[in-house]
Structures are given as C-alpha cells and as structure tokens.
Chain A
Amino acid sequence: MVGAFDWTERERFMIEVEHLTKRYGEFTALKGISFTANPGQVTGFLGPNGAGKTTTMRILTGFTPPSSGRAVVAGYDVFNQSMDVRKRVGYLPENVPLYRDMTARGFLHYMGEIRGVKNLRQKVDDVLARVALLDRAESRIRTLSKGMRQRVGLAQALLHDPEVLILDEPTIGLDPLQVLELRALVRELGRDHTLLFSTHILSEVEQVCDRVIIIDQGRIVASGSPFELRAELERGGRVLVRADAPADAVAALLGTVPGVALAEAANDGVVVTPVSAEVDPRPELARAVVQQGWRLIELRPVAVNLEEIFLELTRQEQADMSIADVAMVDVAETETTEL
C-alpha cells in the first residue's frame, strides 16, 4: 500500500506506519516496522528496554526524522508536514521533561501560548481539572510528586484537544496506586482519542489496551488484541503443573501424556514442554492428573511476564519455528502490517 492516501484510509487509520527504519550510525534501532492505529482505541506498544518504542514515538511526533519509510499521523506525513502533525498530536515523552521551576499552571500556560490555544485560561483550568490537579495548580513542579508530575505532562498533552495522544511509558516510576489512577485515565482518554502508549509491562497492556503491538529489537514480533495475543503466546509455551503429589511422580506421569516432549520437576511444580508450538497440552495434562486421582492445584503458562514471554518466544523460534507463525495477524487490519 505505497502511494497516495485516499480519504477512506485517512478515516480508518489515525496512525499509519510503513517500513519505518531508524539508524544511528552503524546501529539500526528500527528495522522496517509497519503498523496502524485506529481512533477510539488504545493501542499498546509493548517491548523490553531498547526495543525501539521511544524511537518510534519520536518519529511519530516529528521530533526526529526516520532514516527511511513513512509515517502518516492524522492524515499528515510526519516528515514533510511535521507542523500539521504536531498541531494534532499530544505527546508525553519518557521521563516527563518539565520546567521544574514553573508552577503547573504557568507551565501549561506557556505550552498553550506556543501552541496558540484559544481561550487559554479556561483550557488550562479544564485540563488541570481533568487530571485532578486544580488544587496544586500554583505549586512549583519541582514540589510535586512523581505521579502529579506525570499528570502535568499529560495535561500538557491534552491542552490543544489533539486527535492523537502518544504517551511514552507513562506509568514508569509510579507507585501502585498512582499506576492504577493513570491507567484509568489512559483508558478514559482512549475513548475519544487515538491513543498510542508504550510499556514494558505485559499486564498493563491487558488492562488498558484494545490492541497490542509487540516490538523487540526494532521489529514487530506480534500484534493483535491482548486476549488473542496472550492465547497465542501461551499456546505452545511451557506449562507449569502443580498437584498434591510428589513432584517426581507427577513429572513421571506427565512425561507420558500425548503432546508432551519433556516433563521436569522444578522447585514449585512440574514444567512441561510441549512437542510443538501448535500443541496446547493443558487439557490433556489436567485430565491425566485427575484420572490418577490427584488433585490439581495449579496449571498455568510458565511465562507470566514480558521477560519470560520473550524467552518463550525465542525458545520457540529456536525450536525451528518461524516468527511469522507466532505473530497474531488480524487480517482485516493488516494489509500493511509486515511481520
């Protein structure tokens, strides 16, 4: 889908990225990624540190140009029509850079003046209310807690009613309560914006996102709804089984179950490796344990966090599985999504 955009496409995708690459000298941080994001959805950008999340967002916000490839945001090319894109995007950079000696209100006023926001005073009050900071509006930013600063950054991104919101790891460094508050806010904002947000926490995308794009080492390795994705990642992954019987006995039994390549006793149960990624051994495992007369205590994928899932992904890759098979492809949306 190279070539001019027609109006219908513009309507459909607020963010459209094609074969985007970014090189830093010899090092290639983005290796030709393609994806789309839709209005009224929260699209999660999930990947470990160094995956290329920030780099992608910096390109989408017009801060830095791509080395090659193309990105269209709100119908404008990020490189050739940077100012048009910037007018329509609200951006919260990683680490939330703010002027620490300004008050929250003063800072928002300054940002609004540069953007030429109409009815600025009113707007500033509105966004401060939206992020629940009206009572700290006159405090210097340096005196605010990390969570409050994050919300000042978010208020700044909302000031001009942008169509697209791009938030780079907004929950990093917050305490658990602040994280919950911020996720709720992100979900809410996702209803009337095209919202792209990045994280390296798997459970976070499940709680917040309508769609997930998993990125690793500058490549998109999977995308889809969080539900599909988890199912896909779990299928073929190793499984942990715990039953009220000695681990060695359980391992011996489960080693004989169809579809199981290996069953080893680990410290808190038995880790079962299926013969191939196409096989989900869990139903058979459950049946085997119960038929033996034992009680099943736990049956879950070994990989529960992102690091483990990536380990699983690479393990499966080594088991001679092409990455494309792991990738979840929502056919309707992925004419342009290369995997």
Chain B
Amino acid sequence: MRAVWAVFKREVSLYFRSPIAYAIAFALLVFLGFLFNGFVTQSNGQFPADATAIPGLITFLLFLIAPLLTMRLLAEETREGTLELLMTLPMSEGAFIIGKFLAAWFYYTVLLLLTVVYYFILQWIGVPDQGTAFGAYLGAWLYGGAVLALTMIWSAVTEDQVVAAFLGAATVLVLYIAENAAQAIASLQLTSDAMANFVRELGLQAHFGATLAQGIIRAEDILYFLFLIVAALFITTRIVETRRWRA
C-alpha cells in the first residue's frame, strides 16, 4: 500500500507537470466547448436539455486520450532502465502497476469532473435529467478506467511510446466497433444471434451507450468495466514480470 501510494503520488504530480497532459485537457475542453455551443444553439431550447452528450463524446474520444495518457507509464521505465532499480526495491510488480494505473485514472477523473461544468450550464438553460446525467458520468468514469488499463498493457509490451500509443488506440477502437461488427454479423444471418450477441457483449458500447448513458445502471455493466480493469492490470503485471525474468 505504501508503495502504491508513493508511485501514485509521483505519477499524479508528473501528469500535472506534463505538457502532453495539459494539451489533452486543453484540446478536449475546447473541442467539447465548440460542440456544446453548437448543440445548445441548434436545439434553441426546443428539446429537453441532454446531459449525456458530453460524457458520451468523451467515451468516444478515449481512443485518443487514453493511449496518450498511458503510453509513457511503463515504456519509459523500461527504456531508461529505472525498472531495474524499482524491481530491486521491496515492492511487487502489482503495487507498482496499480499505483501507475490509479494515477492515470485520477487524472482522467479530474478531466471528467471539469466537464461537469456543462451539466451546470444545461441546468441553467433547461432541466436536464439528473439520474441520466449521473449514470452517464458514472459510465464514462468506469469506461475510462477500463480503457486506460487496456492501453497501459501496450506500454509494458514495448518500450517505444509511439508504438504503445498506436496499438492502444487500435485496441480501443476494435472494442468500440464491436457493436457495429455485431450488427454486421447479425445482418449476414449466417449463424444464430448468439454469435452476434457475444461479439456485442465483448465490446465497450454495449455496456455504455444503451445502458449507463441512458441512466440505466446495471450491475453487469459495472462489473464488465471492473473486470476489464482487473484483467488488464493482471496482464500488465505478468508482462513486466516476464520481462524481468528474461533480463
């Protein structure tokens, strides 16, 4: 625990000093600001204020945000050789990786909380549904955690940050379009719906778009994201361990 906290603190302070992290925050907020502005002026108060659009957009953008936030985490330690130093301290790989992951998730949480400002603006011009907004934000938070954990795997696999980011983005996109793949499979009508459903359930959208983003909070969706986090952290741990054993 002590080690997790030490690693977490260092990584968080790095995020708040990192130009990339600020660039991501800036780009995200500007981009969302434009979209939000267009969305509000177009609807012109005629539609019920929709508080789920922003968290929904963020989950889509995570295929870019997450790899950029996690690519450095382990690749740099491997490349610089500091991993050798850390892995001769009385600290398990697990503690080290959890500390790093929690720091990334924490930074993302701060980003997400910054966008809550749009919810308050909506409240000012209309009456957004509170429950739906809560579900959507909870979903976007868990979704982010899962995607950060997944992209972090690549940072352990390669010491090249660009490669890690690229593979991370590809992984997230594949899981994102599982929904569309499932539709394609269903439309072929070659197999029963079981196959299409399976592919669909594997994907990220099935556990967010139609459920949490609509304010429907289901245990299975929350468990899906938590499972992804645990599984991804486990895989990352094993990769670092294997790397160490081969050194």
Q: Which residues of A approach B to under 8 Å, CB–CB?
A: 24, 58, 61-65, 83, 86-87, 89, 91, 93, 95, 97-100, 110-111, 113-116, 156
Encoded as 1 (CB less than 8 Å from any A CB) or 0, chain B from 235 to 247 comes to 0000000001111
Cβ–Cβ < 8 Å partners of A64 in chain B: 244-247
On whether the beta carbons of B90 and A63 are closer than 8 Å, the reply is no
Could you tell me the distance between the alpha carbons of A100 and B10 in the complex, rounded to whole angstroms?
14
In whole angstroms, how far apart are the Cα atoms of A87 and B82 in the complex?
18
A61 and B81 contact, CB distance less than 8 A: no
Q: Are A98 and B244 in contact (CB under 8 A)?
A: no
| Cβ B88 vs Cβ A114 within 8 A | no
Interface residues of B (CB under 8 A from A): 2-3, 5-7, 9-10, 80-92, 244-247
List B contacts of A93 (CB < 8 A). 81, 84-85, 88
Measured in the bound complex, the distance between the Cα atoms of B84 and A83 in whole Å is 15
Which B residues lie within 8 Å of A100 (CB)? 80
A114/B84 in contact, CB under 8 A: no
Asked whether A95 lies within 8 Å of B86 as measured between CB atoms, the reply is: no
CB-based nearest B residue for A61: B88
Contact of A58 with B245 in the complex, beta carbons under 8 Å: no
Is the CB–CB distance between A63 and B91 below 8 Å?
no
Contacts of A95 in B (CB 8 A): 81
Residue in B3, B5, B88, B92 whose CB lies within 8 Å of A89: B88
| Residue in A62, A97, A114 whose beta carbon sits within 8 Å of that of B80 in the complex | A97
B247–A114 contact, CB under 8 A? no
> Residues of A contacting B80 with CB < 8 Å?
97, 99-100
Beta-carbon contact of B246 and A97 below 8 Å? no
A-B contact pairs, 12 of them (CB 8 A): A58-B84, A61-B88, A63-B244, A64-B244, A64-B245, A64-B247, A86-B88, A86-B89, A97-B80, A97-B82, A115-B90, A116-B90
Chain B: interface secondary structure? helix
| Cβ contact of A116, chosen from B2, B9, B82, B83, cutoff 8 A | B2
14 additional A-B pairs beyond A65-B245, A113-B2, beta carbons within 8 Å, are: A58-B84, A61-B88, A63-B84, A63-B244, A63-B247, A64-B245, A91-B85, A93-B81, A93-B88, A99-B82, A110-B10, A114-B3, A114-B7, A116-B3
Q: Once the chains are docked, how many angstroms separate the CA of A115 from the CA of B6?
A: 10
CA distance A115 to B92 in the complex (A): 11
Q: When chains A and B are docked, how far (Å) is the Cα of A86 from the Cα of B80?
A: 21
**Chain B contacts for A114, CB-based, 8 A:** 2-3, 6-7, 86, 89-91
Contacting residues, chain A, for B83 (C-beta < 8 A):
97
Which of B7, B88, B89 lies at the interface centre, i.e. has the most chain A CB atoms within 10 A of its CB? B88
In the complex, what distance in Å separates the CA atom of A188 from the CA atom of B91? 29
On whether A98 and B246 interact (CB within 8 A), knowing A86-B90, A111-B89, the answer reads no
- Output the nearest chain A residue to B91 by Cβ-Cβ distance: A114
CA distance A95 to B244 in the complex (A): 17
Taking CB atoms, residues of chain B closer than 8 Å to A116 are 2-3, 90
Chain B proximity of A110: nearest CB distance (Å): 6
Which are the 6 A-B pairs with shortest beta-carbon distances?
Answer: A97-B81, A113-B6, A61-B88, A86-B90, A97-B82, A114-B6
Query: Which residues of B have CB within 8 Å of A115?
Result: 89-90
